[in-house]
């Protein structure tokens, strides 16, 4: 069973800054990690390989330093990694990202299943996985919490819904996005780290995939951020001080009046 897992590097810190001019995230100078929700896709992919044989390939689109994420995934147990990197990809929205990843997957070919995390913790849209499925014309299953059965031509999965669970039988190849309930990510092993260190990661650029340049990057992204505002968290309050008995009675009256105004009492 050949599995492809698209992963993403996201900022490790919650102190994320945005460029007010372009509406994109400023990633320079911020430590990056594998998107935590992608780790669950990596884990279940490795489990499927261990049970059914085959190969797990992780891919990521990003700057050259994104190879660190691929190396970590290989250290966990994935077989290969492919870095998709080009300055022309800078500022891509979810649609443009899915276009690039979809073309990369076409170039890789020979896959049975694409596994993706539910969403990325930086953008929080959950759109890239479904967009890839639409672009490649694949059957899509979202919010998958369990894989029950895998055959040569189909997969049976359990989908998490607000009101319960839904069981789906999907033809292969297909794409599924997984939630945290599906697995518990393993840690990289020493042997895995040694393998990752010796693994050469192929690089795919826009010219390698013969992509249409008008569909790439910020200019090729239909999403437009019109305005960015940082929410201001303020707390207004009144301090009532009672220094003697007379002021104590007055303070209590003010407190009762305040509680009544808020309809608490």
Query: Per-residue pLDDT tens for 131-144?
Result: 999 999 999 999 99
DSSP 220: T
Tell whether the model's pLDDT for residue 169 goes beyond 60: yes
For residue 144, what are the β-bridge partners? Answer: 159, 178
**Residue 162 or residue 15, greater confidence:** 162
pLDDT at 28: 64
Amino acid 223: pLDDT: 87
Give me the numbers of helices (H) and strands (E) for the chain, helices first please.
Answer: 6, 13
pTM: 0.81
- What pLDDT shows up at residue 4? 98
Mean pLDDT confidence for 28-43: 87
**Within a 10 A sphere around the Cβ of 94, how many other Cβ atoms?**
20
229 pLDDT above the threshold of 80: no
CB 150 within 8 A of CB 48: yes
For 14-18, 115-119, 230-234, which range has the lowest pLDDT when averaged over its residues? 14-18
pLDDT tens for residues 243-256?
A: 887 788 888 888 88
């Amino acid at each position: 069973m050949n599995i492809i897992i698209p992963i993403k590097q996201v900022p490790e810190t919650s102190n994320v800054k945005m460029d007010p001019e372009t509406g994109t995230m400023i990633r320079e100078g911020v430590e990056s990690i594998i998107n935590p929700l992608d780790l669950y896709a990596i884990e279940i992919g490795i489990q499927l390989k261990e049970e059914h044989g085959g190969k797990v390939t992780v891919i990521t689109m990003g700057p050259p330093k994104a190879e660190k994420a691929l190396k970590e995934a290989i250290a966990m147990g994935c077989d290969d990694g492919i870095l998709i990197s080009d300055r022309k990809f800078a500022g891509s929205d979810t649609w443009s990202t899915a276009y690039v990843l979809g073309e990369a997957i076409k170039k890789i070919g020979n896959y049975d299943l694409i596994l993706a995390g539910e969403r990325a913790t930086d953008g929080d849209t959950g759109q890239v996985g479904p967009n890839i499925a639409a672009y490649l014309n694949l059957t899509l299953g979202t919010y998958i919490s369990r894989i029950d059965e895998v055959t040569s031509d189909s997969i049976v999965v359990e989908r998490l819904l607000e009101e319960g669970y839904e069981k789906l039988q999907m033809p292969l190849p297909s794409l599924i996005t997984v939630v945290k309930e599906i697995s518990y990510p393993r840690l990289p092993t020493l042997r895995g780290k040694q393998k990752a260190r010796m693994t050469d990661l192929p690089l795919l650029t826009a010219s390698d995939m013969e992509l249409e340049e008008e569909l790439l990057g910020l200019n090729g992204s239909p999403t437009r951020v019109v305005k960015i505002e940082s929410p201001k968290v303020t707390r207004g309050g009144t301090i009532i001080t009672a220094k003697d008995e007379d002021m104590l009675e007055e303070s209590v009256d003010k407190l009762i009046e305040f509680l009544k105004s808020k309809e608490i009492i």
